[in-house]
Amino acid sequence: MARMKFICDAERCIECNGCVTACKNEHEVPWGVNRRRVVTLNDGVPGEKSISVACMHCSDAPCMAVCPVNCFYKTDEGVVLHDKDVCIGCGYCSYACPFGAPQFPAQGTFGVRGKMDKCTFCAGGPEANGSQAEFEKYGRNRLAEGKLPACAEMCSTKALLAGDGDVVADIFRERVVKRNKGAEVWGWGTAYGSKQAGQQAAVEGVKK
Amino acid sequence: MMSRISLLTVLALAGAVGLSACGEKPQTLGTKNDATAFSGVSNAFAAPGWQAGDKNSWEQQLRARGQYGMNDHTRAP
C-alpha cells in the first residue's frame, strides 16, 4: 500500500455538502466545529467550481513542524493524527495549515479556544481502536473497521475520493482520460508534493 | 548541650520536610503509542471479509472497497 490520500474532483462536486453532513454525523462533531467543508470558487458565476476541503494529511505536514508540544504523529499509512491529551490549544497549527483544517471548539478544556480538532481520515486517535474513549475524543475509527472515510463513501457524485493513493490516483486518471478535461487536482501538489515544483513526487511512498 | 542538639535535630528535620516539596515529577512529551489500523477494532462494527491483524488482508479489503465504492467506471463503463 502506498499511503492514504484525498482527491476532490472539482468537475464532479455539486456542493451538496453530503460529505460535511456525513462527517458531522459519523463522528458526532460538536456544534461550531467542521472537520470538512465545501468551498465554492467563483460562486454564482458560470463555470463555478466547488471543492470539498479538510485535512489533506500532507506528506510533510506543516502542523507537525510547528506544534510546540509535539502532539502530532503520522501512522504507517501516512495519516496525520494528534493526541488531544498533549495538545495545549495554542493554535499554531491553525496558522501553519494551508487548508485551514485545524478547528477549535468554543467550549472545551481550555475555555474559548479548546483543544484542536481536525479530520482524522476516520482513523481515530491514540486511544484503543474502536473504544468509547477514542470515539469521544476523535470519532469513529473506520479504517480499523476495514472501511474508508465516511465523507468519500457517502459522496453522491463520487467527487471526493479517499483511500490508497495509488487506487484513487488510478480512478481519477481514468476519469480524466475519458472526459478529456479537468485534470487539475486542487491541493494535491501542496499536500503531497509536486514534480513541477521540484518537490517529492506525489506517488512516492510515505517517508517515516 | 542537650537542648542545642535537639534544636539542631528539629531544624534538620524541618529542612528535610521543607525540601521534599522541591522534587520534580517526570514530564514526558510526545504522543501515546497508537495501535495499527489493521489490528482491527474491539466493537461490532468491523466490515466483514478481512482478518483483523493481517495487514495484507486489510489492504486488500480497503483496495476492493475503494474500487467498488468509488470507481463508477468499472460498474457502469
Residue of B nearest to A161 (CA): B70
Place of cell 474559548: A112
Q: Is the pLDDT of residue A108 over 60?
A: no
All residue ranges of chain B with pLDDT < 70 are 1-2, 24-30, 77
Q: What does the domain layout of chain A look like in residue ranges?
A: 4-192
3-state percent helix, strand, coil for chain B, nearest multiple of 5: 55, 0, 45
pLDDT 10s digits, A136-149: 999 999 999 999 99
Give the start-end residues of each E strand in A83-186.
160-164
- The answer to whether B42 and A131 have CB atoms below 8 angstroms apart is yes
Cα A170 to its chain centre, rounded Å, is 19
What does pTM read for this prediction? 0.83
Which of B34, B39, B68, B73 to mutate: most A Cβ within 10 Å? B34
Name the CATH architecture for the domain at A4-192: 2-Layer Sandwich (3.30)
> Closest partner residue to A174 among B30, B41, B73, by Cβ?
B73
Chain A environment of B41 (Cβ under 8 Å): 129-130, 141, 144-145
Establish if A164 touches chain B: CB-CB under 8 angstroms: yes
d(CA B75, CA A52): 24
Residue of B nearest to A130 (CA): B41
pLDDT of res. A203:
44
pLDDT of res. A80:
96
Mean pLDDT of chain A: 89
d(CA A167, CA A163): 7
Q: Is the pLDDT of residue A25 over 80?
A: yes
pLDDT of res. A129:
94
d(CA B38, CA A66): 29
Average pLDDT (A159-174) is 95
